[in-house]
Amino acid sequence: MQTQDYIEEPRVAPARTSGAGRRILWLVLTLAVVAGLVFAKMKYFPAPEAKGGKGAGGKGAAGKGGGAPKAGPALPVEVYVVKATNLSDAVAATGSVLAEEAVVIKSEVAGKITSLNLREGQPVRKGQVLVTINADDLQAALRKQQYNIKLYQDQEKRQRTLLDKEYISAQEYEQSNNQVLTARAELGALRATLAKSTIRSPFDGVLGLTTATVGTYVSPGTEITTLSKVKPVKIEFAVPGRFARLVKLQDPITITDEASNNKYKAKVYALDPQIDPVSRTQTVRARYPNTSNELRPGAFVKVNLELGQTEGALQVPTEAVVPEAAGYSVYTVKNGKMEPRKIKIGMRSDKLIQVTDGLSIGDSVIRTGILQVKPGDLVRVIK
């Protein structure tokens, strides 16, 4: 019997060969991605030192020369060069319009209104009768007192005759005479009360609105209407205490009506002798003729008080001043760098602020980019 020899062929591990191929493929893809990123970085995001085709090892490179890295680019800013100017000293304030005289018309006695001789919103003259209140009980009491006085006077005459004849003592006569004097005083009081039942206008003015009508019962203190004198009117406003010594009587002011934006001229006529300890302001009043009822009492106005002129004043734009907890600062340019300065301010307007200390003529004050710069930053002045 022949024996057949079987030759076993070596088996190939397909799983191992396939795994090695995948690793090679991933390595190739990774290298391709890295190469792409390096190419993109060199082409679109070159380093500042690589300009002109020089690499990191070129001339002036930090790695080769050993120097400090370069500072960032200078920030472009606009500046204002400080110079001496003539400054019109003026104080801007807000104020209110007040009537020259104003009063609330009230009843001083109790009773029903029997006549109402007032027209709302219409002018009246001083002494004109406005309201009449029923006073029949007062008139009756007045007549009664007049009769009593006549009786007491007759008794006093008889007592005087008896005193002359020494039939009565002086004390008895004085009692009779005192009755007459007391009755006359009571009559005067009744007449004064009766006069209060007729309400008259205390001055020339314009009446306000009312809710009273004929037949309305009023008691002492009941408000009936208002009376205001509006020609002229007063303008009341306040100035900071540091300007109090500069304000004088007859100083001119300019009034701007908030409603119409019209401007009017007036003059200061009164100053409060005290400065308010809370607000640290002084109250000032001016008077305006108001011949055509241009201003109404209670209106809000803007006031510009002229205090003279200062020569050689230093001013900076309002936007250049930085308020701080301890005062004010500005940012200046010195040797191409930003340098902060503490300042003290004086007069101010919508566009300019006076600087009384901290700056000199010729200083360059930054007016733009204030929020972007820090002390020591490089800046570039642009026009």
Share of the chain above pLDDT 90, in %: 64
CB 149 within 8 A of CB 134: no
Higher pLDDT, 136 or 13: 136
- Fill in the amino acid letter for 45: F
Query: Which residues in 119-137 are b (16+ Cβ under 10 Å) and which e?
Result: eeeeebeeeeebbbbbbee
Per residue in 1-47, pLDDT (tens digit) is 444 444 444 444 444 445 666 777 777 778 777 777 767 666 655 55
- At 322, the pLDDT band (50, 70, 90 cuts) reads very high
CA angle 23, 25, 29 (to 5 degrees): 115
Per residue in 233-265, pLDDT (tens digit) is 999 999 988 888 889 999 999 999 988 899 999
CB 358 within 8 A of CB 340: no
- Fill in the amino acid letter for 257: D
- At 281, the pLDDT band (50, 70, 90 cuts) reads very high
Kindly state the greatest CA–CA separation across the chain. 204
Predicted confidence at residue 17, as pLDDT, reads 47
pLDDT of 232 strictly over 70: yes
Q: Does domain 73-101+237-383 have CATH number 2.40.30.10?
A: no
CB 216 within 8 A of CB 112: yes
Q: Average the pLDDT over 292-307 and give the result.
A: 91
Out of 33-37, 163-167, 276-280, pick the least confident.
33-37
Predicted confidence at residue 56, as pLDDT, reads 40
Higher pLDDT, 140 or 24: 140
Domain boundaries, the chain: 73-101+237-383, 102-224
pLDDT of 343 strictly over 90: yes
CB 264 within 8 A of CB 294: yes
**How many residues are present in the chain?**
383
Look up the pTM and report it.
0.59
Closest CA to 63 of 49, 52, 45: 49
- What tokens were used for 42? 């060199």
Burial class of residue 68 (count of CB atoms within 10 Å of its CB; 0-12, 13-18, 19+): exposed
Share of the chain above pLDDT 70, in %: 86
Closest CA to 302 of 366, 350, 232, 362: 350
Predicted confidence at residue 8, as pLDDT, reads 46
Angstrom distances, CA of residue 108 to CA of 33, 171, 317, 318: 102, 40, 61, 58
Q: Average the pLDDT over 206-223 and give the result.
A: 94
Closest CA to 234 of 311, 296, 183: 296
| Class at the top of the CATH hierarchy for domain 102-224 | mainly beta
CB 110 within 8 A of CB 219: yes
pLDDT of 372 strictly over 50: yes
